[in-house]
Chains A and B, each alone.
Chain A
Amino acid sequence: MKYIYKVGCSIENLRGIRDFVKQSLKNHEVNELSISEVVLALDEMCSNLMIHAHKCNPDDLFELHIIADRDQPLVMEIIDDGTVFDINQFHEPELGNIIHEKRKGGLGIRLVKSIMDKIEYEKTDGKHICRLSKKVQFD
């Protein structure tokens, strides 16, 4: 089953994204702790994209696709025709540096990399696709 959500790049929309992800996965009896981790990872990916690639312009839209089938790894795609924000190219700072430099960023990427099994990027028909996948427990 595939779920699609189209959203503008305002960080006020993050809550709507979280609700969409939660509802989609609940339909498939995904284990609750896994749902909360996937919700968190997508919140982080989408807020990075909104803030760093789109400067929070609410008129810039992107799509979030969730492909969920029982006993299969979950696949989440973020499809954007704007600038790509490739977290694989981003070297996350050490926790010690985050504390010392009082940086409030960099933790999100660490979270996403810890939660997801795979993060891939591709470009098709002028669109950037970021594909995340994760094996989860089903209840």
Chain B
Amino acid sequence: MVQIKRIQEDGADVIVPIGEIDASSSIELDLTIAKSVGEGYTRILVDCTSLEYISSAGLGVFMSYIEEFGDKNIKMVLYGMNERVLNTFEILGLSELLSIAVDKDEAKKRLA
């Protein structure tokens, strides 16, 4: 079960998933990112500080945007992951393919 908030800050869209993203809830993440892109945001932050868990369904959502973001010059940075969530990204080597920052300051610098 996940709840997803969006906050606009300094022209960037901050997506805040709260709870757990699995096969039953990954669609929420997908819809939220699609909405952000649809509204024309080109700088997207994903605040993972309240993300308790993510399975491959959620990882797949992030992966599915990599090419589109490259084509449209959209930057997305994820930050604030706990050790377990970060480990899930690292097992698959996704930390090489996605931009993952330790905290919000570093994430904002990467967007600049």
Interface residues of A (CB under 8 A from B): 11-12, 14-15, 18, 32-33, 36-37, 39-40, 43-44, 47, 51, 95, 98-100, 102-108, 110-111, 114-115
Contacts and interface: CB of A to CB of B under 8 A. Distances in A.
A114 B24 contact: no
Given A95-B94, A104-B26, A111-B88, 9 more contacts: A14-B22, A14-B24, A18-B22, A18-B53, A37-B87, A40-B55, A43-B55, A103-B64, A111-B92
Contact of A43 (B22, B64, B93): B22
B56 interface: yes
Main secondary structure of the interface of B (DSSP, over half): helix
B66 interface: yes
B34 interface: no
Given A14-B22, A95-B97, A111-B92, A44 B55 contact: yes
B66 to A, nearest CB: 5
27 contacts: A15-B22, A18-B22, A33-B83, A33-B84, A33-B87, A36-B87, A36-B88, A37-B87, A39-B53, A43-B22, A44-B56, A47-B23, A47-B57, A95-B92, A95-B97, A98-B60, A99-B63, A102-B67, A103-B64, A104-B26, A104-B61, A107-B56, A107-B59, A110-B92, A111-B55, A111-B56, A111-B91
A15 B20 CA distance: 9
Contacts of A98: 60, 63
Contacts of B59: 107
B31 interface: no
Contacts of B102: none
Interface of B: 1, 20, 22-24, 26, 53, 55-57, 59-61, 63-64, 66-67, 83-84, 87-88, 91-94, 97
B84 A115 contact: no
A107 B84 contact: no
B89 to A, nearest CB: 11
A64 B55 CA distance: 19
Contact of B88 (A32, A40, A51): A40
Contacts of A37: 87, 91
